[in-house]
Amino acid sequence: MLGGPSAEREISLKSGKAVASALRRKGLKVIEIGKDEEITAGLNSQRIDIAFIALHGRFGEDGQIQALLEKKGIPYTGSGVEASRLALNKSSSRKIFRRAGLSVPPYRTYGPGDKPSLPPFDFPLVLKPFREGSSIGLSIVNSAREYEEAWNRAREHDREIIVERYIPGTEMTVAILDDKALPVIKIVPKTRFFDYGAKYTKGMTDFILPAPLPKAIYRKVQEAALKAHQVLGCYAYSRADLILSPENVPYVLEVNTIPGFTETSLFPQAARAAGIEFPQLCLKLLKMARRRFDEKRKKNQN
């Protein structure tokens, strides 16, 4: 399942095509749904044994497609309905992270009727939509003039927005696979932060794998990512994005339940560093999806 209606459609198409190619190399019969047709129409017109979800952003990562697949009795990869919904919603996920003792940047949320008021923290600040990935609609601002522009930019993508204190430090990402943290990746963008252009433009970011950190700090970053995955109730895999502050505190920014999945994306890079090649990784996620489906069906029968 690829493409879809979200702002991340183009990235989803690349992820889905890479997965389809890898699974065909493993001898599976693969149908690509969402490339040329609407997702639900494709679901209704095909006989599907198991769904590999490569839909990024809304509809793919917010629990909607998961609920639809469950209604149809189709096993699918990745997290379930509720974990997906919580992870994509930056406000809901941060409340859970805080309760679990994880560090998150100080933040304030604003609803549909709220107007730009005095900034809640000193500059610089970060503004972002509640429910978007790939840094879409995200801004780092240094002045009141930039603040209002950033507010309007975020509002173009969501009626609800989040304003947070900017945490200086080093960007890190940690992939989680089968309840284990994979090698930490240090992200060094050539722009001010890891924005959409830095994420998807070749040569705009350096990735250092494994991240050159003291062992104790390295483990601390992995443990924070794994805990974030677990407290949201994620299943099989995810990728947590963090900022490691100058005081070596890992601040959890978000958990991606369906991270980028081309062969050169960060999650597959981390898996490869752990000895798992891309086709093997794709097949493993299908097997885990089947295992969860069979266990749930058996439980319902008892």
What's the whole-number mean pLDDT along residues 232-257? 97
Report the candidate in 155, 114, 150 with the shortest Cα–Cα distance to residue 132: 155
Q: What residues are annotated to the active site? A: 8, 134, 200, 239, 241, 254, 256, 260
Same domain, yes or no: 97 and 221:
yes
Domains held by the chain: number:
3
pTM comes to 0.90
Q: pLDDT class for 247, splitting at 50, 70, 90?
A: very high
Same domain, yes or no: 115 and 92:
no
What's the whole-number mean pLDDT along residues 199-225? 86
Contacts of 209 (CB under 8 A, 6+ apart): 183, 184, 185, 186, 269, 270, 273
Same domain, yes or no: 99 and 242:
yes
Which CATH number goes with the domain that contains 291? 3.40.50.20
Question: Is residue 269, in this structure, part of any structural domain at all?
Answer: no
Same domain, yes or no: 97 and 245:
yes
Same domain, yes or no: 98 and 233:
yes
Parent domain of 149: 107-165
- What are the pLDDT digits (tens) for 163-203? 999 999 999 999 999 999 999 999 987 755 544 444 445 56
Element (H, E) at 272: helix 266-273
Same domain, yes or no: 113 and 57:
no
Question: Is residue 273, in this structure, part of any structural domain at all?
Answer: no
Same domain, yes or no: 202 and 295:
no
Rounded-to-integer distance, Cα 39 and Cα 302, Å:
33
Q: Name residue, tokens 């490569």.
A: 54
Same domain, yes or no: 142 and 283:
no
Same domain, yes or no: 238 and 179:
yes
Question: Is residue 265, in this structure, part of any structural domain at all?
Answer: no
For 21, 181, 207, 278, the CA distances from 271, given in Å and listed in that order, are: 18, 10, 14, 8
Residue 302 has pLDDT above 80, yes or no: no
Position 197 scores a pLDDT of 47
Residue 133 has pLDDT above 60, yes or no: no
Whether 259 and 238 have beta carbons less than 8 Å apart is answered as yes
The per-residue DSSP string of 25-75 comes to: HTT------SSSS-HHHHHHHS--S-B-----STTTSSSHHHHHHHHHT--
> Higher pLDDT residue, 251 or 8?
251
Residue 28 has pLDDT above 50, yes or no: yes
Q: Name residue, tokens 């095509």.
A: 17
Position 160 scores a pLDDT of 87
Both tokens assigned to 298: 């058996």
- What are the pLDDT digits (tens) for 142-166? 988 888 888 888 888 888 899 999 9
Same domain, yes or no: 98 and 208:
yes
Of 165, 180, 215, the last residue of a domain is 165
Same domain, yes or no: 251 and 202:
yes
Question: Is residue 264, in this structure, part of any structural domain at all?
Answer: no
The dihedrals phi and psi of 73, each to the nearest 5 degrees, come to 70, 35
Residue 46 has pLDDT above 50, yes or no: yes
